[in-house]
Homo-oligomer: A and B are copies of this chain.
Amino acid sequence: MALSRFEYVKQFEQEEKLLPNCWVVVRIDGKGFHRFCNVHSFTKPNDLDALQLMNFAGMTVMQEFNEIAIGYGQSDEYSFVFRREASVYQRRRDKLVSYVASLFTSAYMFHWTRVFDSRSIAMSYPPSFDARAVLYPTDENLRDYLSWRQADVHVNNLYNTTFWNLVASGLSNADAEKRLQGTLASDKNELLFSQFGINYNNEPVIYRKGTILLPKSVYVKDKKQRLIVPIFDDLIGDAFWVTHPEILDKRAKTDDVFELAENLTQPIVLYQLTVQERRKAGHHKAETTKSVLETGSS
């Protein structure tokens, strides 16, 4: 059974390598999440737990690749931005795209019970995600990409918030849709306020802006540590980029300590701190590996 007679088939592998010195965005998208949300009774228009679960999966991907400069999640999608100089898997497209999709999927499932146990939502069937890689040659192109995704969540969330309030008030889905046809953002803001007393700008920022993930040094109980930190902020304007210069320039001073403030209570922050506590306490002496995930089930 000579292996060698067949080995020529390896030559048919044509693994594309992503152009050097470009930003690489890998974007994950949920497959058939409309149905997945229905089957698992996710709250409309936003289910905070489901979004937090996405953040757990995003956190896991960012822990695995230290060459990711920023992550950005909204709805059932997540974007991971690999640095221009990232050399992961020699920038092989298939490997990168498939592995990020797989890792995100498994982390999503792994943290399911952590998030949904209190609501007794069992997983009826496994979710899945696809992924694509897109290259951006300039910092401006990259910022515009992220702005595009954040503008998208704004447009969708304003619509969905109005739509589901109309439905909750008694309209059929079809009537709610008709009611919103042709309306501008200002119309929807006005409708929300006049009809439901809702000031859209007071809606939770995670719904309006999505979640930004950054690796940051933080102080917790007087100890400095590196965490993947969720940030809820506008990233379209310049202020965000001035505040976080290390995203575009990895040589920027990053010894600045990030102030967690109210984000200290974010689920993925609490989780990371718990894992580190446990590790320090020697619960996992046998397993001193890098992955933070391992400690999850004990």
Could you write out 6 A-B pairs with CB less than 8 Å apart?
A: A6-B144, A11-B20, A95-B132, A98-B100, A99-B130, A124-B294
A174 within 8 A of B: no
Nearest 5 Cβ contacts at the A-B interface: A106-B126, A6-B148, A137-B137, A98-B131, A98-B101
Q: In the complex the two chains form, is A102's CB within 8 Å of B99's CB? A: no
Chain B residues closer than 8 Å to A103, beta-carbon distance: 31, 126, 128
User: Whose C-beta in chain B lies nearest to the C-beta of A84?
Assistant: B137
Chain B residues closer than 8 Å to A3, beta-carbon distance: 148, 151-152, 155
Mask: chain A, 1-24; 1 = CB below 8 Å from B; 0 = not: 111011111111111110111100
Chain B residues closer than 8 Å to A289, beta-carbon distance: 35
CB of A31 to closest CB in B, whole Å: 6
CB contact between A144 and one of B8, B31, B130, B151 (< 8 Å): that residue: B8
Q: In the complex the two chains form, is B31's CB within 8 Å of A99's CB? A: yes
A239 within 8 A of B: no
Most buried by B among A99, A155, A294: A99
A residues near B (Cβ < 8 Å) are 1-3, 5-17, 19-22, 31, 35, 39, 60, 84, 93-95, 97-107, 109-110, 122-138, 141, 144-145, 147-148, 151-152, 154-155, 185, 236, 287, 289, 291, 293-294, 296-297
Chain B residues closer than 8 Å to A148, beta-carbon distance: 3, 6-7, 9-10
CB contact between A109 and one of B1, B8, B14, B126 (< 8 Å): that residue: B126
Q: In the complex the two chains form, is A19's CB within 8 Å of B22's CB? A: yes
Q: In the complex the two chains form, is A137's CB within 8 Å of B134's CB? A: no
Q: In the complex the two chains form, is B125's CB within 8 Å of A110's CB? A: yes
Chain B residues closer than 8 Å to A8, beta-carbon distance: 144
Distance A141 CA – B95 CA, assembled complex (angstroms): 23
CB of A250 to closest CB in B, whole Å: 15
Distance A19 CA – B141 CA, assembled complex (angstroms): 12
Distance A22 CA – B287 CA, assembled complex (angstroms): 45
Q: In the complex the two chains form, is B19's CB within 8 Å of A122's CB? A: no
CB of A85 to closest CB in B, whole Å: 11
